[in-house]
């Protein structure tokens, strides 16, 4: 009897396993019959079209490209006239890539034109039925990265040695523009950065993302930098230090953001051999830079002069408030006119050699209560710190970021003496 029940039990198990196996196979069969969704690029299934990949060449225009691909003139005119805010056909740039999606029938008429504004953003001109144009962007993956380095020659060279996008140098120079003179860094200064890199399809690099935290050690002083929205109403993001002080000042330290050299400072007792060593006061600060380098407004204000006069050459003067005014001399060309309101960091002209000058530079002059002074010796007003009501929240927010920065090790890129000697001998 026990053998009988054992046989029955064994049979049930075998049948049960067999049934379960059959069920699994049926599910697998169902899965195999499910069609995979088409892979879309720019929102289109490219397999449905004849695809043309090309770049804008000298002499190309949107109208000519469309006419060559059998698009009717009324459609071209509709895009040109009705969608200027979305796609200004007059501003397509040489070298920019584009796609044309053509019908697969014998007519091969262009149905879609896709213009790649940059690696991420693109514009779609849909020529099917009623024409339309719209902007979109590729899906971007953000990857957090940490670096730390010791400056040997310059910040840009140190960042390049670490294999990081050169644009991170500009981001850091913007963040610390009011507190650190990047044209006068010292050998041995240190930095750490936590930032994001952007990737398309996980592999195609698409540039620097947000700088989430930074650390700079300059002349023995440590300055942390953390982004924080202190004005929720206007959604204004600014960078603050470890003590909740705003890193922004009312005035930038220099009218050139990067790659400059202070060739002559404010000096009321300057003597020049050309003039027989007579005292010739220099009431400005000269920032030497290549011709064409952008010159920026060091603070918000209204342009009171944009002209050319005598030894000043082409220049711009800005009134910031009742107390301060600034002037920028020897420009190659101005980018603003009298009466314009400019914001701090706006490009107001380009470095040149107009007027009395022995080399390309901008002479930066600074007025306080109508008297020219040395801006580097003035106690310039700082921006407002974080409100007391937000201070506790801010300090709690930055603590893990500060801990993360503190754990990053410095990579010293300074070559060994033997390497320096070898390079020199070669």
Report domain extents, the chain: 46-137, 139-249+382-415, 261-377
CATH among 3.40.50.720, 3.40.718.10, 3.10.450.350, 1.10.10.10 for 46-137: 3.10.450.350
Domains 46-137 and 139-249+382-415 share a fold: yes
Helix ranges restricted to H, 165-223:
167-175
Superfamily for domain range 261-377: Glucose Permease (Domain IIA) (2.70.70.10)
Residue 7: in which H helix or E strand, if any?
helix 2-33
Q: What is the reported pLDDT for 416? A: 54
Q: What is the reported pLDDT for 14? A: 42
How much is the pTM?
0.61
- For the segment 358-409, what is each residue's pLDDT rounded down to a tens digit? 889 999 999 988 889 988 887 777 777 788 889 999 999 999 999 999 999 9
Across 226-243, b (16+ Cβ under 10 Å) vs e yields: bbbebeeeeeeebbbbbe
- For the segment 136-182, what is each residue's pLDDT rounded down to a tens digit? 999 899 999 999 999 988 888 889 889 999 899 989 988 987 788 77
* Helix/strand/coil for 90: helix
What are the beta bridge partners of residue 197?
Answer: 143, 208
Looking at the domain 139-249+382-415, which fold is it? Answer: Nuclear Transport Factor 2; Chain: A, (3.10.450)
- Quote the CA–CA distance of 228 and 120 in Å, as a whole number: 26
pLDDT less than 50: residues of the chain = 1-24, 28-29, 274, 418-426
Question: Which residues in 20-88 belong to E strands, given as ranges?
Answer: 50-55
* Helix/strand/coil for 102: strand
Q: What is the reported pLDDT for 34? A: 60
């Amino acid at each position: 009897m026990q053998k009988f029940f054992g046989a029955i039990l064994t049979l049930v198990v075998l049948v049960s396993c067999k049934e379960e196996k059959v069920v699994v196979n049926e599910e697998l069969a169902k899965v195999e019959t499910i069609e995979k969704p088409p892979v879309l690029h720019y929102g289109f299934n490219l397999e449905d079209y004849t695809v043309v990949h090309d770049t804008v060449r000298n002499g190309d225009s949107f109208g000519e490209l469309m006419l060559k691909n059998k698009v009717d003139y009324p459609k071209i005119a509709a895009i040109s006239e009705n969608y200027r805010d979305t796609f200004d056909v007059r501003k397509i740039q040489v070298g920019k890539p584009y796609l044309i999606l053509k019908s697969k029938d014998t007519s091969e008429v262009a149905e879609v034109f896709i213009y790649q504004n940059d690696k991420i953003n693109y514009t779609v001109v849909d020529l099917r039925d009623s024409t339309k144009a719209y902007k979109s962007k590729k899906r971007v993956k953000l990857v957090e990265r940490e670096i730390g380095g010791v400056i040997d020659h310059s910040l840009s060279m140190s960042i390049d040695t670490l294999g990081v996008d050169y644009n991170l140098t500009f981001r850091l120079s913007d963040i610390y523009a009011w507190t650190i003179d990047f044209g006068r860094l010292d050998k041995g200064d240190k930095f750490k950065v936590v930032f994001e890199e952007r990737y398309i399809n996980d592999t195609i690099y698409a540039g620097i993302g947000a700088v989430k935290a930074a650390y700079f050690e300059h002349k023995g002083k440590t300055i942390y930098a953390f982004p924080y929205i202190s004005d929720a109403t206007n959604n204004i993001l600014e960078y603050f230090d470890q003590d909740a002080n705003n890193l922004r000042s009312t005035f930038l330290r220099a009218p050139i953001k990067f790659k400059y050299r202070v060739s002559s400072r404010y000096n009321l007792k300057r003597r020049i051999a050309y003039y027989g060593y007579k005292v010739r006061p220099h009431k400005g600060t000269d920032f030497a830079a290549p011709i064409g380098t952008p010159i920026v407004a060091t603070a918000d204000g209204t342009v009171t002069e944009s002209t050319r006069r005598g030894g000043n050459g082409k220049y711009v003067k800005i009134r910031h408030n009742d107390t301060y005014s600034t002037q920028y001399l020897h420009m190659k060309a101005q980018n603003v006119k009298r009466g314009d309101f400019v914001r701090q960091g706006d490009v107001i002209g380009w470095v040149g050699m107009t007027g009395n000058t022995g080399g390309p530079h901008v002479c930066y002059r600074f007025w306080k209560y109508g008297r020219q002074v040395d801006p580097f010796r003035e106690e310039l007003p700082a921006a407002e710190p974080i409100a007391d009501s937000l201070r506790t929240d801010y300090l709690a927010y930055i603590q893990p970021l500060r801990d993360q920065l503190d754990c990053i090790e410095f990579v010293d890129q300074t070559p060994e003496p033997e390497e320096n000697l070898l390079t020199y001998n070669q």
